[in-house]
A and B are shown apart, each in its own frame.
Chain A
Amino acid sequence: SYELTQPPSVSVSPGQTARVTCSGDALPDQFAYWYQQKPGQAPVLLIYKDNERPSGIPERFSGSSSGTTVTLTISGVQAEDEGDYYCQSADSTGSYRVFGGGTKLTVL
């Protein structure tokens, strides 16, 4: 079955830039989506279609794509950005969705 691979953890100091990667063979052909989840809460959509930001999401969150890897970039990280981040995409058929394993962002 199709898989998306994320690093388990990323640590940054406040004000620095955090980058979370997500790799998958179908990513050149399928859009990626990024979600933030905090403990006890439902996920929140941060980025859709690789690099589009929903209304209400701060500009410090951005997405990019290059080949089989997509990247979520958080510029000027704030303490409130601590949480788990998940990428999501579809397999090559577009019908089946998959989440990456998640990346825990720690703000030092």
Chain B
Amino acid sequence: QVRLVQSGPEVKRPGASMKLSCKASGYNFIAYYIHWVRQAPGRGLEWMGWINPKSGGTHYAEKFQGRLILTGDTSITTGYMQLNGLMFDDTAVYFCAREAMGPTTSGSDYWGQGTLVTVSS
């Protein structure tokens, strides 16, 4: 079955970097985008960016340009999200989700369980 399993919770200091992982299984990894979405405590969903694991191509939301890096390792079917220059308001649950590429897309039909990241001094 399709699964997206994310890495465990993290506590970071302001100014630090974090790199989260999203291990995919049960489907053709290179046929689906990996999106990253975050949700601050008590707030709504915020789209951060996506990566095409086959080409390595990426698109980032404007507010994360310059400090967000999405990568993928097709050999181990895992996506990674690196966020640099962490600030207190980066405290959030971070989700990965897959989306089929091309006209057959049906939205983000599978999601990871989420990773809680706390930025604290």
Q: Nearest chain-A residue to B110 (Cβ)?
A: A45
Report the Cα distance A52→B107, complex, angstroms. Answer: 10
| B37 surroundings in chain A (CB, below 8 A) | 43, 99
The listed residue (B47, B63, B114) touching A99 by CB distance below 8 A is: B47
Considering only CB atoms, which chain A residue lies closest to B35 in the complex? A97
| Dominant secondary structure at the A interface | strand
Task: Chain A residues near B63: list those with CB within 8 A.
Answer: 1
Judged by a CB distance under 8 angstroms, whether B29 is at the interface is no
A83 contacts partner chain B, Cβ-Cβ < 8 Å: no
Structural contact, A86 and B35, CB atoms closer than 8 A: no
| Binary contact readout A17-55 vs B (1 if CB under 8 angstroms, 0 otherwise) | 000000000000000010101000011110011001010
Tell me the interface secondary structure of chain B in the complex.
Answer: strand
Residue of B nearest to A100 (CB): B44
B interface residue numbers (CB < 8 A to A)? 35, 37, 44-47, 50, 59, 61-63, 95, 97, 105-109, 111-114
A95 at the interface (CB under 8 A from B): yes
Report yes or no: A48 in contact with B112, Cβ–Cβ below 8 A.
Answer: no
Question: How many pairs, one residue from A and one from B, have CB atoms within 8 Å of each other in the complex?
Answer: 62
Counting CB contacts under 8 A, is A98 at the interface? yes
Chain B residues lying within 8 Å of A35, measured Cβ to Cβ, are 45, 108
Enumerate A39-94 residues with CB–CB distance to B below 8 Å.
42-45, 48-49, 52, 54, 84, 86, 88
Bound complex: CA of A100 vs CA of B105, how far in Å? 20
Interface residues of A, CB < 8 Å — how many? 23
CB distance A86 to B109 under 8 Å?
no
Within the complex, the shortest CB–CB distance from A8 to chain B, in Å, comes to 10
State the Cβ distance, A20 to closest chain B Cβ, in Å: 13
Q: In whole angstroms, what is the CA distance A33 to B35 when docked?
A: 14
* Measured CA separation A38–B75 after assembly (Å): 34
B44 and A96 form a contact (CB under 8 A):
no
Cβ–Cβ contact B44 & A97, under 8 A: no
CB of A39 to closest CB in B, whole Å: 10
